[in-house]
Each structure stands twice: as structure tokens, then as C-alpha cells.
Amino acid sequence: MAEIAIVMPVFNRERSVGAAIDSVLAQEFDDFELLIVDDGSRDGTVAAVRAYDDPRIRLIVQDVNRGGNAARNRGVSEATAPLVAFIDSDDAFLPHKLGYLVTFFSERPEVDVLIDSFELVYPPETGKSPAPRLNPVLDGSPEIEQAIFDRRVFKATPAISARRDAILRAGMFDETLKRRQDFDLMLRLTKVARCATTDAILWTKQWSADAISAKDDTFAAATIDLCRRHPQYLADPRFRPGLARDVARHFVRLGAKGALGVAAADARRLGQEFGARTLARLAAQGVVEIVRRKREKKASR
């Protein structure tokens, strides 16, 4: 049995999956299993994976596309290692990631979940330098729950590593969610497991303009889904500032883009869900939160 399993969902990633696989095979710690779950690809992804001759790689082929969360759940279900990490097919582990994780969980047996930090890498043509996404160092689920609601933690799915039994206790990924599955899973994990974060950068995330999280037309549905599953996000004054800032930032961004039609449609949809007055109060509170955060960031420099 390997010490740690890495779960990688793939769908039509023939051109990029090799780099992700290579980053796992290049790990300084080599006692792992890499479960690659092909989610009904229609290109040459399966052939690209099968070209690798390494016994640590297990290819699982799903005949129809069920979505990334279903693919992740399939990988977790079939993993044999006690620890589980995740990687997306267009991202890359830094060479020390697995060694760091195995050492951390060995030295901290009371911790079940770790959220690490990463570097956001932009395409060369943008001329942008890599941007570190450093998490605060936190230890304890209540504190981390608050930080997640406050949006103070970068919790992209490949940043989450956990003991496999903790993921099973939490119910694994919600396969009906198309966005913010990491937000949802982490909130459920804080209820059943002890969680921690680290500012150690262990992987790189490729920025993409067509990422689901960058699509403005998915925001309203994802926000409503999240609030229905975790109503305290809206109802609890401790958690509401994060939601307010998220809502305000969304409408500010749409306004800057001139996407007034999308803004109007989202306002109607969110207003129907939350109530028009509540939405207006959220937006106003969010603007105040955005200004406050900018002042605090400026003062800390």
C-alpha cells in the first residue's frame, strides 16, 4: 500500500495532462499511487495517459462524462493509501509537495486536513509574473471555518490534502455542484475533522481565462447553491461579510466590463433568492468591506 494517493480527474486534456503527470512522477517522495480518472474524454487523453509505463499510475476510464466531482469521488473511492491529495490536469506539483504532506501528517496525527499554498502562473503572453497565493497559518476547524467564509483562505481543490477517512466522513464532493466544490467540501470537513493551513507553496496553478471560476454567468447559481447548502453564510452575522464582499465584487466587475445584461439578470435571480432588500444590503455592506480590506492592505505595506 502506498503512503499517499493523488487523484487527477481529466476530460479532453490530451495536450496538458502529460505535464501534470510528469510533475507527480518527479516527486522527491516516491511512495505514492496516482489515480487518473478519465471522465469520458473524446480526444486522445486516454492514449496519452496509457503511454506512461509506471506501475504507480492507475487509469480509470468512465464511459460517460459525469463531471469533475464525480471523477474525484471515483478516485477517492478506489484509492488504497490513507492520505489523499488532488491535482487538476493543467496544474503541477512542485517536487517537494508529497514529501511535505507525508511528513506533516506523520508529525501531526491529530490533524486530518491540510490546505497548502500555491503560485498562480500566467501565460507568457500576458507578461505577468507568477503570483503567490499564501494562506495564513491556522490550526483548528472553527478558526478555519471563519476564514473560509471570510474568503481569507485560498482553497482551490489541489490545495486540499486529507486523510482518506476524513473525506469519506465528510461525504466526499457534491457531484451536483459545478463550481465552488472546494468551498463546500472544506466547510463540511471543518464539521467532522481537525483542519489546518500552511503558507508553504507546494504547487502551481495555471491561470486560464475560460476557467469555470472566471465565468461571470455561473456566479449567481453557484452562490445560491452554496447558501442553500450552508445557510449560515447569509444568516450568521459572523460569516455574512465574506458573502457581501463577494456579491459586491461580482457586480463591480460586471459594471467595469459593461456586462449590464448579466448584472441585471443576476440581480433578479439573487434578489428572488435572498429578497431584494437583503441583496441591496449585502451589496452595500460588500462595498464597505472592499474599501476596508484595501485600506488594511495598504496600511500593512
pLDDT above 70 as % of the chain = 97
Is the pLDDT at 163 greater than 80? The verdict is yes
The dihedral formed by the CA atoms of 178, 179, 185 and 186, expressed in degrees to the nearest 10:
180
Pairing type for strands 160-163 and 83-86 reads antiparallel
> Do both 195 and 256 map to the same domain?
no
| SS3 of residue 205 by DSSP | strand
Query: Are 223 and 192 part of one and the same domain?
Result: no
Q: Check whether residue 201 and residue 224 sit in a common domain.
A: no
- Could you tell me if 222 and 154 lie in one domain? no
Say yes or no: 110 and 248 in one domain. no
Does the pTM surpass 0.85? The reply is yes
The residue out of 206, 226, 244 marking a domain boundary is 206
User: Do 219 and 202 fall within a single domain?
Assistant: no
| Mean local confidence (pLDDT), 151-163 | 96
The DSSP bridge partners found for residue 32 are 4
Confidence of residue 164 (pLDDT cuts 50, 70, 90): very high
The mean pLDDT of the chain is 94
Query: 169-227, pLDDT tens digit by residue?
Result: 999 999 999 899 999 999 999 999 999 999 999 999 998 765 545 567 789 999 999 99
The domain in which residue 109 lies consists of: 4-206
Q: Are 9 and 84 found together in one domain?
A: yes
- Chain segment 3-12, per-residue pLDDT in tens: 999 999 999 9
* Secondary structure letter of residue 236 according to DSSP: -
Q: What is the dihedral of CA 61, 66, 69, 74, to 10 degrees?
A: -40
- The span from the CA of 37 to the CA of 39, in Å, is 6
User: Same structural domain for residues 189 and 252?
Assistant: no
Are residues 38 and 105 part of one domain? yes
Positions of E strands within the chain: 4-10, 32-39, 57-62, 83-86, 92-93, 113-121, 131-133, 160-163, 195-206
Domain boundary among 136, 171, 206: 206
Q: Name the domain count of the chain.
A: 2
- pLDDT value at residue 214: 53
Last residue of a domain, one of 206, 233, 263: 206
Query: What tens digit of pLDDT does each residue of 243-254 get?
Result: 999 999 999 999
pLDDT tens, position by position, 235-294: 999 999 999 999 999 999 999 999 999 999 999 999 999 999 999 999 999 999 998 888
